[in-house]
Amino acid sequence: MYTITFGGWYQRTTLHLTEIFNFLALGETNLGLDKNKILKLREGLEIISVSREIDYLEYVKANTKNGIEIRYYEDGLYILEINSKDAVEAKTLLEEYFEEKLNPAIAYIFSLGAPTPKILANIKLDHPVVISTKSKKIEVDENVFGKIYSKIEADDMSVYKTPKYIFIRGIDEKHVRALMEMQIFFREFKDQLERYLNIHRELWEEISEYKEKRVLLGKNIEKVRMKLDGYQKTINLIGSRINQMNVYVNTRSSIAKKMSLEEKLSNIFQYKFETLIDTHAYIKEVWNMTKDYLNTAIQVVLEVKSQANANTIQSLTLITTIGVVSGIIGYLSKDQFPKITLIGMCYYLILIGLTWLINRIVFTVANNKKYKLEFSSIKT
């Protein structure tokens, strides 16, 4: 018999935990969401019991009809666990339950507020799967679970890793559970930082495309500005999430010290909290650099837009001035009051047509004029 654990992590607080408990236990929410949909989503989870527990962190515990235990911690770590003799079948069951039932329900509960950037929402997530056992040794069928690339042995625990699975052997159930949850937290935290690094690379290249053009047609200025504004929104939203992450590492580090797990974590998983903090600091600086890079591009485009508007206004001012001066001279040369005639009306309509045509020519010239983009050069 194995314990198969599927889990992930996303920044949450005790306020979110209360919302999750009210949803899972009562099918209720204080937010302006569709109550019928809330009840339908809750019914689809097939939950038979819900409780709010206190351990090293407060969490909501729920059990389902098909034997899945759900633990949702106040820092955002969520665990789906089931006991089974068939690890592969259990993994599939947990993944399907999460993707088809739990994740859509939680996503709807937290659907209000700051949106998830599209570039982040479209990323396919591969959550860690941990298989734990109390047996004296771990037996891994590499034809089923993949080739083992890491083996770590300790006095009372063993950890084997394949590309998609982590196997843990241990007698102390409390320590195995804590280490398992910490490993999922480590993996998810690191994967999030890796996703942000890849997004940085993607955004940097897209921004570079505009900066390498050197010239920009007047008609494309607004389109480019709106595109850069979209990047800015994405960068600000992700930047806020990156800034939040450091707090959760410190919390988990304190828990590890209280449970005397810090040494086990280092020996068993070969991770240290300092490494996560250093990696987070690196990504934070990279993101700040991306933000500055984008702001420079936006500033240059705004200056070009101001230049284009100024040229258009100057042209129209010149045309208007000529028209006003001509009109004044015409008025001063009259020796009698004007009379409305058919020829005069035709003349007036021709003037309106010529004015419209001149304005169109001015705007067309401005839109097709090439404006130089002057960015400060970077030596590479």
Annotated domain spans of the chain = 2-172, 173-380
Span 49-56, average pLDDT: 88
Query: Which pLDDT belongs to residue 97?
Result: 92
DSSP string, 290-342: HHHHHHHHHHHHHHHHHHHHHHHHHHHHHHHHHHHHHHHHHHHT-SS-----H
- Average confidence (pLDDT) over 48-53: 92
Give the pLDDT confidence of 236-251 residue by residue, as tens digits. 888 888 888 888 888 8
Tell me the average pLDDT across 5-9: 88
Characterize 112-148 residue by residue with b for buried, 16 or more Cβ atoms within 10 angstroms of its Cβ, and e for exposed.
eeeeebebbeeeeeebbbbbbbeeeebebeeeebeee
Predicted structure pTM score: 0.72
What is the percentage of the chain residues whose pLDDT exceeds 70?
71
Query: Angle at the Cα of 258 (from 253 to 259), degrees rounded to 5?
Result: 95
pLDDT at 69: 93
DSSP-assigned states of every residue in 31-99: SSS-HHHHHHHHHHTTEEEEEEEESSSEEEEEEETTS-EEEEETTSEEEEEEEES-HHHHHHHHHHHII
β-pairing, 215-217 vs 150-153, is unpaired
* Mean pLDDT score across all residues of the chain: 77
Q: Does residue 258 carry a pLDDT above 60?
A: yes
pLDDT over 90 at 62, yes or no = yes
- Residue 260: pLDDT band (50, 70, 90) is low
- Residue 380: the pLDDT is 43
- Which pLDDT does position 173 carry in this prediction? 76
Would you give the end-to-end CA distance of the chain in angstroms? 57
- In whole angstroms, give the CA distance from residue 19 to residue 55: 19
With contact defined as beta carbons under 8 Å apart, do 162 and 140 qualify? yes
**Does residue 74 contact residue 12 with C-beta atoms inside 8 Å?**
yes
Q: Which of 21-35, 261-275, 301-315 has the highest mean pLDDT?
A: 21-35
DSSP H helices, 259-272, are 262-269
Q: Order of strands, edge to edge, in the sheet holding 69-73?
A: 47-54, 58-64, 69-73, 77-84, 2-9, 129-133, 166-170, 157-161, 150-153
Q: Is 4 helix (H, G, I), strand (E, B) or coil?
A: strand
Separation CA 75–CA 92 (nearest Å): 26
- Phi and psi angles of residue 311, each rounded to the nearest 5 degrees, phi first: -65, -40
> Which pLDDT belongs to residue 71?
93
Cα–Cα distance measured from residue 198 to residue 204, given in angstroms and rounded to the nearest whole number: 10
More confident residue, 241 or 44: 44
CA–CA distances in Å: residue 268 to residues 58, 283, 341: 25, 26, 99
Strand 129-133 versus strand 166-170 pairing type: parallel
Residue range 184-225, pLDDT digits in tens? 888 888 888 888 888 888 888 887 777 666 665 656 667 777
Residues 169/44, Cβ–Cβ less than 8 Å: no
Check: CB of residue 378 under 8 Å from CB of residue 207.
Answer: no
State residue 379's pLDDT score. Answer: 46
Angle between helices 273-332 and 342-368 (to 10 degrees): 150
- The pLDDT tens digits for 82-128 are 998 888 888 889 999 998 999 888 888 888 766 655 555 555 667 77
Q: How confident is the model at residue 372 (pLDDT cuts 50, 70, 90)?
A: low
